[in-house]
Structure 1
Amino acid sequence: MHSRLRFGIDLGGSKIEIIALRDGQQILRQRCATPQGDYAATLNAIASLVHQCERELAANASIGIGIPGARSPATGLIKNANSTCLIGQDLAGDLEHLLERPIRLANDADCFALSEACDGAGAGASTVFGVILGTGVGGGIVINGQLLRGPNAIAGEWGHNPLPWRQPADGAVRRCYCGLDDCIETFLSGPGWAARSGLGLNADALAQAAASGEARAVQALKCYADQLARSLASVINILDPEVIVLGGGLSNIAALYDWVPPLLSRYAFTDQLSTRLLPAQHGDSSGVRGAAWLWP
């Protein structure tokens, strides 16, 4: 089964990307622009990419798709998607009809976690927590090579828990788009960190300023590292993963891998912390690779 041809598709807000894996090795990659706000055109774009790749490889493949949202276990329809034209649609059913075969869908953060657990930074670990630190904060949980989905399809959504062990230095209360206050995402997402720093810089510029030693940016990054450690420690106290893998734009900040582990030891409920904190091995390709691994 491992040598089967697998297609992984990443349905993003601006682009749709497809890769083909055989024996775990990428043999083809293509992409196209995502039709904006047009559900039918999005379906056709995905089908067109699949047919194009199958013609080129002269073979049929299993299909897994990572989406910016989740498929409701109750209705089968898409929910929690920032590509709003997907919400309320039977994406899986419609694509199965178009492509005449079963497909598998998962949240893009779940696909990231699965990729890194299968053949990435978490390969060989029995429990992997995959973290996205980017425009939003997401996560996925893989146990013994299997993605943990949960009855509500929200396993790993730590970004919408409140920041633990709140301190005065964390600043003012902020309302999250979900309607609740002080979600982890309002602190640890790129826009959240930038807004709370008060320095008028976006996350990329803030990280660069910290790397160059600008005092206020360094302080903002130290605050971020402490908030990240508290947030991850609360996950460790429940899940106790062997490996935590960081992905997304903010995962490229090298200082986090030096600063956060000692802080984890301060906050996690253990005498000695054995959990490893690692950067993603497959980087920006993890999501699309994980979609391909949705089939066993």
Structure 2
Amino acid sequence: MNDPIWGIDLGGTKIEGVILPSLNDATPILRTRIDSESGKGYEHILGRIRLLITQMQEQSGLQPKRIGFGTPGVLDPVLKTMKNCNSTSLNGEPLQSDLENILGVPVVLANDANCFALAETHWGVVKQKFDDAAIVFGIIMGTGVGGGIVMNGKLWSGRHGIAGEWGHNYLDPSGGPCYCGKTGCVETILSGPALEKFYHSISGKKATLKEITHNYLSPQPDEAARQTIERLALFFGKAVSVITNLLDPDIIVVGGGVGNIDVLYTSGVEFLRQHIFNNRLDVEVCKPALGDSAGVFGAAALVS
């Protein structure tokens, strides 16, 4: 019998852990979480992780052989330190080696978008709709924009550890400066904050993405909401056409708060069809099936 698989999702506000029987059985043996208290610094985060693992051991009576971690950034495969983390205290730190030292077991790290793609492949919408998919691209469009690539059931991380980082491809100069130092990244146009910023720029009014979407769907939508959502659909199609031309995936799964906007799957997909290098569109573009389980389940899949 295979050992259960352990996963930890390291978020900005919470650290969640799960123990699953195997890659073939996603019924949790244990699922629990604690506050990350990430504002107290790197060493404190390490202590919180150790506390959670200790609690999981006590509650389950099990001992991990390896642990998968979903992280808010990536481990540089050459320097072995973290980079591109929105929990900034992790940047530059040797998180993998430090975790292995304090936990006494090997650990595997991947960013949240990679874990999302992996979980949806093994247990989510890919399993339901396209079980034999060779290439899956998972998108997260929320506060930021990211992506992950799964090939034949395994993550593809790349030479720099940035494979799938579609959110920082160039899309259009109208997005303006990006926090990464470049201009016009996908994230500056398709993220939730970017959509809210665009709406404010043309209307002079501040509104949340939920309010903008509601206004767009109302019987008499305001003009700024219409422009914002139609621009989203157009640039979504253009941006995803780059993924499709490059990887030609079997299925694209779109998660995150922006991914809940239905226009992406109608006119957004039509714009994708118009911009790919083919006379038809066969790739499926789907909403995810796992909800907020994807991150921690995907972390467990890293060690399956």
TM-score range, shorter chain: over 0.9
Inter-partner Cα distance in structure 1 for 2:49 and 2:99:
8
Q: Percent identity?
A: 41
Q: 1:215 aligns with which of 208, 222, 227?
A: 222
Q: 1:241 aligns with which of 237, 242, 249?
A: 249
Q: How does 1:99-138 map to 2 (within 5 A)?
A: 99-123=103-127, 124=131, 125-138=133-146
User: 1:225: how far off?
Assistant: 0.8
Q: How does 1:118-267 map to 2 (within 5 A)?
A: 118-123=122-127, 124=131, 125-163=133-171, 166=172, 172=174, 174-198=176-200, 199=203, 200-213=206-219, 214-216=221-223, 217-267=225-275
* Equivalent residues of 2:175, 2:189 under 8 A apart: no
Q: Go from structure 1 to structure 2 and tell me whether the alpha carbon gap of 1:26 and 1:173 turns closer, same or farther (over 3 Å shift).
A: closer
- Number of residues of Structure 1 aligned to a counterpart in Structure 2: 289
User: 1:236: how far off?
Assistant: 0.3
Q: Go from structure 1 to structure 2 and tell me whether the alpha carbon gap of 1:265 and 1:84 turns closer, same or farther (over 3 Å shift).
A: same
Secondary structure of the corresponding residue to residue 20 of structure 2: strand
Q: 2:53 aligns with which of 50, 70, 73?
A: 50
User: 1:55: how far off?
Assistant: 1.4
Secondary structure of the corresponding residue to residue 178 of structure 1: coil
Give yes or no for the alignment of 1:8 onto 2:12: no
User: 1:223: how far off?
Assistant: 1.2
* Equivalent residues of 1:37, 1:84 under 8 A apart: no
User: 1:158: how far off?
Assistant: 0.8
* Equivalent residues of 1:73, 1:152 under 8 A apart: yes
* Equivalent residues of 2:29, 2:60 under 8 A apart: no
**Structure 2 residue runs without a partner (length 5+):** none
Instruction: Note the alpha carbon deviations across 1:81-109, whole angstroms, 9 max, x for none.
Output: 11111111111111111111101111111
User: 1:72: how far off?
Assistant: 0.6
Q: 1:73 aligns with which of 77, 84, 96?
A: 77
User: 1:31: how far off?
Assistant: 1.1
* Equivalent residues of 1:7, 1:292 under 8 A apart: yes
* Equivalent residues of 1:248, 1:284 under 8 A apart: no
User: 1:173: how far off?
Assistant: 5.2
Partner residue in 2 for 1:280: 288
Partner residue in 2 for 1:291: 299
Secondary structure of the corresponding residue to residue 51 of structure 1: helix
User: 1:110: how far off?
Assistant: 0.7
Amino acid at match of 2:208: N
Instruction: Note the alpha carbon deviations across 1:169-228, whole angstroms, 9 max, x for none.
Output: xx8451111111111100000001111123421222212222324232133211101110
Instruction: Note the alpha carbon deviations across 1:1-37, whole angstroms, 9 max, x for none.
Output: 7x53122111111111112211222232211111214
* Equivalent residues of 2:73, 2:82 under 8 A apart: yes
Partner residue in 2 for 1:31: 33
Secondary structure of the corresponding residue to residue 255 of structure 1: helix
Inter-partner Cα distance in structure 2 for 1:12 and 1:69:
10
Secondary structure of the corresponding residue to residue 29 of structure 1: strand
Partner residue in 1 for 2:93: 89
Deviates more, 1:80-89 or 1:256-265: 256-265
**Structure 1 residue runs without a partner (length 5+):** none
Inter-partner Cα distance in structure 1 for 2:16 and 2:48:
10
User: 1:136: how far off?
Assistant: 0.3
Inter-partner Cα distance in structure 2 for 1:15 and 1:85:
15
Secondary structure of the corresponding residue to residue 201 of structure 1: coil
Inter-partner Cα distance in structure 2 for 1:107 and 1:241:
20
Inter-partner Cα distance in structure 1 for 2:227 and 2:84:
34
